[in-house]
Amino acid sequence: MNALNTMKAMRIHEPGGRFQLDTLPLPTLLRPTDVLVQVKASGVVPNLRNVMSNYGERSYLTVPDLPAIYGLDTAGVVAEVGAAVTGIAPGDRVYINPGRSCGSCHACRMGEPTNCVAYTFQGYFGFGPRSKDIYKQYPYGGFGQYATAPADGLVKLPPAVSFEQAARFGYLGTAYSGLRKAGVAAGKTVLISGASGTLGLGAVQIARAMGAVKIFCVARNADLLERVRALDPERIRVFSHGSGNLGDWVRSETGGVGVDAVLDAIGPGAPHQVTLDCIGALRRGGRLVEVGAMNDPLPLNLHELMCSQISVLGSLWFSVGEGQDLAYMAAAGTLDLNVFDHHRYTLEQANEALADAEQRKGGFVNVVIVQ
């Protein structure tokens, strides 16, 4: 193959296998509304190995056929645009929102692409068998030198947002969309469960940017919690799991009322009692939004929820518009993305990068592959 028409990519060739450096043809644009992006940074998801091993294990998740290029959160520079693309030009700095939908099912026609029957994360996994068709259209994750994407799937990045910071947008956007659904805004109080983790720390910074007057941060690691508290000592309160009754503590800090909203960012494997304690900290009419994929079955007293008008919601991913909000907030200085300690790896070091991410050292660490 001519070197000018090829690219390098780290692919896996067997379930749960190691990444292997391959030379592939340079991607071509399948439709006039597509763009080609030269990848500059891609985030490394700590859960990636579990996804790469998930061939035939979970019927509700669909992974790409092997060999596959993974890499969920991708940022780079537009190299080429299709003939029908407007508003995006070569040289633009962008984040690729990997959420892909079919564009024509009932949910898509209703303007709800995340509820699409074929909804798929480019470079990660999908939510049903129809995701196979999406993978054929967009097979390029971030662990390659180039990737294609639809023009309406791009977030334009201002100079204030580095490629490494943009490679964290998957977590940031998920937190932002969840906080919006929870009704967090100026004058509101919010509790973030798992606040020291990768998803939770972003939620703390975004809640600050959204004007929350009190941010209650709950996690297990006391040292990391203290680092979180130091970000905004006037508004942030911290609580370690197991150090007392969470509901009593929240009410002591809110004049006996309880918190307006909870963003539950704890991950799979956490006991359901943690989430139940968070629900118990809500005021009447409060909302809990689940973004962390806690998968322990949750025993709920629906009559009690009804009488207290408590809402429990699930929130999946985020829209391109919400991603653009984050970029504008960072450019304006209201959202501080300078808290991350970037662990940078080359493309060829993808295996080492994943091993680092799997150590789960807390949300301040951002493991990223740079090119």
Average pLDDT of span 348-355: 98
* pLDDT value for 154: 98
User: Mapping DSSP to helix (H, G, I), strand (E, B) and coil, where does residue 154 land?
Assistant: strand
* Same-domain pairing of 49 and 77: yes
Q: What does the pLDDT look like over 288-341, one tens digit per residue? A: 999 998 888 999 999 999 999 999 999 999 999 999 999 999 999 999 999 999
Range of the domain at 231: 177-314
* Same-domain pairing of 210 and 289: yes
* Same-domain pairing of 135 and 65: yes
Cβ burial 203-231 (10 Å sphere, 16+ → b, else e) = bbbbbbbbebebbbbbbbbeebbebbbeb
* pLDDT value for 52: 85
Q: Is the pLDDT of residue 55 over 70?
A: no
Contact between residue 224 and residue 249 where contact means Cβ atoms under 8 Å apart: no
Contact between residue 217 and residue 249 where contact means Cβ atoms under 8 Å apart: no
Element (H, E) at 275: helix 272-280
Residue 107 lies in a domain: yes
* pLDDT value for 59: 54
Residue 332 lies in a domain: no
Residue 127 lies in a domain: yes
> How many structural domains is the chain composed of?
2
Residue 142 — φ and ψ, nearest 5°?
-80, -10
* Same-domain pairing of 96 and 197: no
* Same-domain pairing of 309 and 347: no
The label of the residue with tokens 């990848």 reads 39
User: Looking at residue 34, which CATH number applies to its domain?
Assistant: 3.90.180.10
Q: Which residues are CB-neighbours of 248 under 8 A, at least 6 positions away? A: none
* pLDDT value for 58: 58
17/26 Cα distance (integer angstroms)? 24
pLDDT category at 61 given cuts 50, 70, 90 is: confident
DSSP 292: S
Residue 328 lies in a domain: no
CA distances (Å), origin 25, targets 6, 77, 118: 4, 19, 27
* Same-domain pairing of 28 and 148: yes
Average pLDDT of span 33-51: 94
Q: How many CA within 13 A on the CB side of residue 24?
A: 20
* Low-confidence winner among 23-27, 134-138, 149-153, 267-271 (lowest mean pLDDT): 267-271
Residue 333 lies in a domain: no
pLDDT category at 122 given cuts 50, 70, 90 is: very high
64/126 Cα distance (integer angstroms)? 8
Beta carbons within 10 angstroms of residue 251's beta carbon: 17
* Same-domain pairing of 223 and 275: yes
User: Three-class SS string for 88-120?
Assistant: CCCCCEEEECCEECCCCCHHHHCCCHHHCCCCE
The label of the residue with tokens 């204030």 reads 160
* Same-domain pairing of 200 and 164: no
Residue 327 lies in a domain: no
Does a cis peptide bond (omega within 30 degrees of 0) precede residue 67?
yes
pLDDT category at 57 given cuts 50, 70, 90 is: low
The two three-digit tokens of residue 346, written as one number: 């080359």
* Same-domain pairing of 71 and 142: yes
* Same-domain pairing of 12 and 48: yes
Average pLDDT, the chain: 95
* pLDDT value for 164: 98
The two three-digit tokens of residue 16, written as one number: 């749960």
User: Looking at residue 225, which CATH number applies to its domain?
Assistant: 3.40.50.720
**Total residues belonging to the chain:** 371
Q: Which residues are CB-neighbours of 258 under 8 A, at least 6 positions away? A: 247, 250, 251, 281, 282, 283, 284, 286
Cα first-last separation, the chain: 22
Q: What does the pLDDT look like over 73-82, one tens digit per residue? A: 999 999 999 9
| Percent residues over pLDDT 90 in the chain | 88
* Same-domain pairing of 56 and 123: yes
Question: How buried is residue 234: exposed, middle or buried, by Cβ count under 10 Å (0-12/13-18/19+)?
Answer: exposed
* Same-domain pairing of 137 and 11: yes
Helix axis angle, 320-332 relative to 198-209, nearest 10°? 70
* pLDDT value for 60: 59
pLDDT category at 1 given cuts 50, 70, 90 is: low
350/356 Cα distance (integer angstroms)? 10
Average pLDDT of span 220-249: 94
The two three-digit tokens of residue 116, written as one number: 């699409």
